[in-house]
Amino acid sequence: MKKLLLLMLVIVAAQAQADDINLQINGTITAGSCDVDAASKNKTVEMGQAVASDFSYGPWVPFELSVINCPANVTSVDAAFTGQLDTYVSTAYANTGTGRGVALQVADSKSMMYMLPGGDKVTEPVDAMTHGATFTMRARYVRTSSLFVPGTFESAVQVTFTYR
């Protein structure tokens, strides 16, 4: 019986051993996010026709980008603009269509600040009543050279929203 008890104590003692480890858990806490309004997703801004002899700059064409359903703790939204920089005009997005000699400028309608292709951003407050924010923007053609080749005009501008 003494041998059995001693053996049981050794087994119990072996099971009672423990190791300490350090566990680090990381994460990010965000303010939450809004929804991009359906009318702003994959938006197409119709610029109209450009005639080479008529302009150095085309008329401004207004458009809006909106976010909705923002959580109560989101008080402002940044919109950062990126895209392919035009080769000749440093404040313009490149035309990837078949036409040549014209690029695209985008500006914030309130500040008149150009949204440059390298990630320029504009900030709008979130309305506490509607829980949304609207960016009032405008775009225009800008002539890039004396060589004007008729064709299509296409320019892609990516917008990234950051919620604060």
Handedness of CA 117, 118, 120, 121 (dihedral sign): positive
Side chain identity at residue 157, one-letter code: V
Q: Report d(CA 13, CA 159) in Å as an integer.
A: 63
Per-position DSSP letters for 13-52, written without gaps between them: HHHT------------------EE-GGGTT---------G
DSSP 53: G
> Rounded to whole angstroms, how far apart are CA atoms 101 and 147?
6
Tens digit of each residue's pLDDT, the chain (164 residues): 444 444 444 444 445 566 777 777 776 666 679 999 999 999 999 999 888 777 789 999 999 999 999 999 999 999 999 999 999 999 999 999 999 999 999 999 999 999 999 889 999 999 999 999 999 999 999 999 888 889 999 999 999 999 99
Record the tokens describing residue 12, joined without a space: 């119990």
CA 123/CA 135 separation, integer angstroms = 8
CA distances (Å), origin 6, targets 11, 15, 17? 9, 14, 17
Does the reported pTM lie above 0.75?
yes
Architecture field, domain 34-163: Sandwich (2.60)
Distance CA 104, CA 92 (A): 5
d(CA 62, CA 38): 18
